[in-house]
Structure 1
Amino acid sequence: MATTDGGGGGTLGSKDYKKPTAAALKGAIQLGIGYAVGNLTSKPDRDVLMQDFYMVESVFLPSEGSNMTPAHRFPDFRLKTYAPLAFRYFRELFGIKPDDYLYSICNEPLIELSNPGASSSWFYLTSDDEFIIKTVQHKEAEFLQKLLPGYYMNLNQNLRTLLPKFYGLYCIQCSGVTLRIVVMNNVLPRALCMHYKYDLKGSTYKRRASRKEHAKSSPTFKDLDFQEMFEGLFFEADTYSALMKTLQRDCRVLESFKIMDYSLLLGVHVLNKKGLARGSRLDSRRHNGQRVLYSTARESIQGGVDAKPTDPVADDDTMGGIPAKHKDEKLLIFLGIIDILQSYRFIKKVEHSWKALVHDGDTVSVHRPGFYADRFLKFMGEAVFKKIHPLRGASSKRKRCSAYAMRSASQEVLSPLKEEPSDEAKSKSMESLKGLLANSSKNPDLLPLYISSNQSVSTSLETFEKDLKDYLQNSNTSQATCSDVGPGDTVPSLPAQSSPDSVQDVYL
């Protein structure tokens, strides 16, 4: 967590000081953040300017106090606050009020978390489960500050993102020890037991949890472990589409910043199992109104700006998790992209080249940003997240209904007309009948029927049916049937109703 800073300045680099304890460092963090946020209240609200992203404020806080700083029981330390106005804007964007921010961080002692990753970072969690405080290296802090203008632009375009939400960047120099810390949103709530946790990169080279990690009470597994334990997590079609669109958008943003080696932190809570461990303190804080907007997994992927941001999404038993299924188990999924402060710098290029010599270069985690994003998305969309397809029975039923509807429609077309046709339809049918008359002599299956010009079509059809019945009766009387009529025989003509002004051919 801590590194010795030779350029600390003043008496902070003196060897006369003892190394501060972990409790003293946590106290200095809380006091420093409280002082920095409180100092902002005297500054008026205004638009964020470009120079605000690169501003650094420094103040010395002696233990005996001063005219500007309070007295405290920790060793003397220096506080640096990076881009204070820009981070104030980010906190306001997510609905974090200064009083709530200070209450979450400073009211009760921070909870130290274990770090399953390869980095030497330390993690602290606030007592209300809202914020994570992570220590970062000098290069990472420097990279984040350079990233802030683009990060500002991205958040203004879309607040619903799985990328980390940064709320503050600080540096504590205490007794020759330097801590650079960043305040972020918490992805995995403690109020729900995470039965499985995964750190996924989409690569397969050495992506398996160690024996030491397996021995922990709550281990964090990796890509190969996931493939062995799950066939995939299944979501409803709309949820799957929203999740993948969010991941695609976030990966393209990271690619534009030349960021790689990030991970997807995935927590799985099985609803069938016991593990809901709510604390009264968590409930009281949440019901008192402390809610960071768009901080839960469900809020981060749901599209549409019309959604009400003040809805208490996480106040129910789901805690803002995304419903999913695996076989017969009902799950709640919590996720977020982490470790985005790794740019594809020269040292990473060398690392990739060296690993590619001893192993397949496309399987190692370190890779150029474009390839890394494509491999990451493919792994998430095919191996990790899957779409629930509709049942085959329902599909075949729809097909049967469709076939029945087509058959019914065809029968209705072939059935005799029961309604009076419109005048337009009458005129069109009369014109077509005149054209058919010329071919009637060539078709032996056509019976000519004469209709007067002032006679309606329906009346003529009724008359034709009556005459046809009389004709068939006469044919039966004379022992003549349809089968007795040969190809060369002529069909007796039907009685004419009137003088032929128009002719209609009827198919038998």
Structure 2
Amino acid sequence: MTQRMSTSTGKRSERGIKPSKAQNKDHKKPTAGALKGAIQLGIGYAVGNLSSKPDRDVLMQDFSVVETVFLPSDGSNLTPAHHFPDFRLKTYAPLAFRYFRELFGIKPDDYLYSICKEPLIELTNPGASSSWFYLTSDDEFIIKTVQHKEAEFLQKLLPGYYMNLNQNPRTLLPKFYGLYCIQFGGTTVRVVVMNNVLPRAMKMHYKYDLKGSSYKRRASRKERVKSSPTFKDLDFQEMHEGLHFDADTYNAMMKTLQRDCRVLESFKIMDYSLLLGIHVLDRKPLSRGGRCDSRKGQKVLYSTALESIQGDVRDPGPVADDDTLGGIPARHKDESLLIFLGIIDILQSYRFIKKVEHSWKALVHDGDTVSVHRPSFYADRFLRFMGTTVFKRIHPLRGASSKKKKNSLHAAKSASQEVLSTSREEKEQKKKEKKAQSMEHLDGNLFISSKQPDLLPASVVTLTSNSVGAESSEDRRDSSSTVALDDPLLAMSRSPSDHELDVYL
């Protein structure tokens, strides 16, 4: 590309839409409507053509397959006629992505109906990737333009992604349903079809793009003036004091995030974000005008936020379309909330250019605060920020816990008193027998204390003969040791005064 290229063409190159090598002066740049129409037509043809292929297991070579077809506007023996410019379609790993769609319960007819029936809705992108986003009219799928490096990286990830989805279909990671490339009018467009994290039918009172870093993590002035701005990490700490969940929901959410971050770390992926949408239930009734009226129930399994974190439930049927739209209930101060979330932008590998970027930023700023960092550190910082600053556990009321503790202590005290009363009765019986034995060896002139009948005053011991004292002490030691051996429960529960009493005996 030369410096004479127009500004609009340069912007398209940044957004993953770049001129192809075959571009010349006769080619007209496609309009936005033609681009969306070609994307819909290309995906529709690819899915329809795939239906003629028999089902089989996914093989390793299927992940690297790229199928190419030319679709002229006049049509051909294999392709339909259309009113868009001639274009070439590339479909990446079609059998592998068909398996992913089947795993999430997406039928081919529903997939085509969602993407091709109504015109795509173009969305704004607050991120730094400058990609274009299109939303299907039924809120199910997002179509995102990606750069060549990102598409290449995703295709390399597919074997590991396949393994991870088999083990854990419930995940907050992006769910990829297709990867395509369209070349026409001298322009190359690569798009990936994903799940939609934030349903358009639900009003998001707050939106956040969170990374767990602090360097330049504040929404710009241009972003803040939008009708629905997307804020960042520093904004969240100023506007919210954390979102509170019950213990089970908090544990399930953090377990899912931890598992997903370890998967990304194993792929050497960093610089991803948590897209967080907050709907305040107390403010306005739910608006359902943006959702297609013909949509009955949920088409995609595990696609809602609540489904993605409930890892213990297996293979439920499609969830009925209710007023929560799969949001996770939460609290913030006195407000009741519905939370929608998902991990986005995972196609950033810690390649050489990222290492250089981190090293350069670390020279100017604190290296631990910038978003670009090695994958292991990035994952730990991300989880720590989410688990302590963003999401918080609701602790049970002190009164309820203290009452439960009091009841348990009362039960334990009653049981111990019952055991001790039994021990005391046995002990008193032993004392009486022991007293009778000791009286046989002593003269009748000895003084016995009425308060402590088993204790002999020291003065009395000195007045008795050595043989009598030895015999008495020997008998008393035997009696004492016999009590300790015959009643081990008493030895465990005796008080210090009981212990002193045995020493004298």
Q: TM-score higher than 0.5 here?
A: yes
Q: Is 1:197 matched with 2:207? A: yes
Specify the alignment match of 1:382 in structure 2.
388
Specify the alignment match of 2:371 in structure 1.
365
Post-superposition CA distance 1:120-148 (Å, at most 9, x none): 10000000000000000000000000000
Q: How far apart, CA to CA, are the structure 2 residues paired with 1:77 and 1:275?
A: 45
Amino acid at match of 1:154: N
Q: How far apart, CA to CA, are the structure 2 residues paired with 1:367 and 1:275?
A: 42
Q: Is 1:3 matched with 2:9? A: no
Contact 1:192–1:275 under 8 Å retained in 2: no
Q: Is 1:347 matched with 2:357? A: no
Change (3 A) 1:484 1:348: closer
Specify the alignment match of 1:316 in structure 2.
322
Specify the alignment match of 2:67 in structure 1.
57
Change (3 A) 1:440 1:163: farther
Q: How far apart, CA to CA, are the structure 2 residues paired with 1:377 and 1:141?
A: 27
Contact 1:248–1:377 under 8 Å retained in 2: yes
Specify the alignment match of 2:402 in structure 1.
396
Specify the alignment match of 2:445 in structure 1.
none
Contact 1:208–1:221 under 8 Å retained in 2: yes
Q: Is 1:224 matched with 2:231? A: no
Q: How far apart, CA to CA, are the structure 1 residues paired with 2:422 and 2:265?
A: 67
Amino acid at match of 2:416: S
Q: Is 1:161 matched with 2:175? A: no
Specify the alignment match of 1:462 in structure 2.
none
Q: Is 1:22 matched with 2:29? A: no
Q: 2:249 aligns with which of 239, 245, 254?
A: 239
Post-superposition CA distance 1:84-129 (Å, at most 9, x none): 1110111011000000000000000000000000111000000000
Contact 2:142–2:196 under 8 Å retained in 1: yes
Q: How far apart, CA to CA, are the structure 2 residues paired with 1:155 and 1:439?
A: 79
Contact 1:235–1:324 under 8 Å retained in 2: yes
Q: How far apart, CA to CA, are the structure 1 residues paired with 2:86 and 2:348?
A: 32
Q: How far apart, CA to CA, are the structure 1 residues paired with 2:438 and 2:403?
A: 46
Q: 1:328 aligns with which of 312, 329, 334?
A: 334
Contact 1:14–1:175 under 8 Å retained in 2: no
Change (3 A) 1:482 1:217: same
Amino acid at match of 2:40: Q
Specify the alignment match of 2:446 in structure 1.
none
Specify the alignment match of 2:127 in structure 1.
117
Post-superposition CA distance 1:46-85 (Å, at most 9, x none): 1111111000011111111111111111111111100011
Q: Structure 2-normalised TM-score?
A: 0.82
Q: How far apart, CA to CA, are the structure 2 residues paired with 1:213 and 1:280?
A: 23
Q: Secondary structure at the match of 1:179?
A: strand
Specify the alignment match of 2:491 in structure 1.
none
**Shift of residue 407, structure 1, vs aligned partner:** 2.8
Contact 1:185–1:295 under 8 Å retained in 2: yes
Q: How far apart, CA to CA, are the structure 2 residues paired with 1:125 and 1:150?
A: 27
**Shift of residue 4, structure 1, vs aligned partner:** 2.9
Change (3 A) 1:412 1:347: same
Specify the alignment match of 1:297 in structure 2.
305
Contact 2:110–2:299 under 8 Å retained in 1: no
Q: How far apart, CA to CA, are the structure 1 residues paired with 2:17 and 2:145?
A: 10
Amino acid at match of 1:186: N
Q: Secondary structure at the match of 1:284?
A: coil
**Shift of residue 285, structure 1, vs aligned partner:** 0.8
Contact 1:191–1:282 under 8 Å retained in 2: no
**Shift of residue 42, structure 1, vs aligned partner:** 1.1
Q: Secondary structure at the match of 2:294?
A: helix
**Shift of residue 397, structure 1, vs aligned partner:** 1.3
Q: Is 1:143 matched with 2:143? A: no
**Shift of residue 311, structure 1, vs aligned partner:** 4.3
Change (3 A) 1:438 1:29: same
Q: How far apart, CA to CA, are the structure 2 residues paired with 1:357 and 1:281?
A: 49
Q: How far apart, CA to CA, are the structure 2 residues paired with 1:483 and 1:62?
A: 115
Post-superposition CA distance 1:438-484 (Å, at most 9, x none): 677669xxxxxxxxxxxxxxxxxxxxxxxxxxxxxxxxxxxxx9579
Q: How far apart, CA to CA, are the structure 1 residues paired with 2:128 and 2:206?
A: 19
Percentage identity across paired residues of the two chains: 77
Change (3 A) 1:145 1:440: farther
Change (3 A) 1:353 1:174: same
**Shift of residue 434, structure 1, vs aligned partner:** 7.7
Post-superposition CA distance 1:209-233 (Å, at most 9, x none): 0111110000000000000011111
Change (3 A) 1:75 1:436: farther
Amino acid at match of 1:236: D
Q: How far apart, CA to CA, are the structure 2 residues paired with 1:101 and 1:87?
A: 12
Contact 1:294–1:309 under 8 Å retained in 2: no
**Shift of residue 19, structure 1, vs aligned partner:** 0.7
Residues 97-116 of structure 1: matches in 2 within 5 Å?
97-116=107-126
Q: 1:183 aligns with which of 193, 203, 207?
A: 193
Amino acid at match of 2:84: F
**Shift of residue 396, structure 1, vs aligned partner:** 1.5
Structure 1 unaligned spans of 5+: 422-428, 444-480, 491-502
Q: Secondary structure at the match of 2:416?
A: helix
Q: 1:267 aligns with which of 277, 297, 312?
A: 277
Q: Secondary structure at the match of 1:286?
A: coil
Contact 1:110–1:126 under 8 Å retained in 2: yes
Change (3 A) 1:170 1:25: same
Change (3 A) 1:401 1:6: same
Contact 2:146–2:191 under 8 Å retained in 1: yes
Post-superposition CA distance 1:328-360 (Å, at most 9, x none): 111110000000000000100010000000000
Specify the alignment match of 1:31 in structure 2.
41
Q: How far apart, CA to CA, are the structure 1 residues paired with 2:201 and 2:412?
A: 55
Amino acid at match of 1:141: A
Count matched residues: 443
**Shift of residue 282, structure 1, vs aligned partner:** 2.8
Q: 1:405 aligns with which of 400, 411, 416?
A: 411
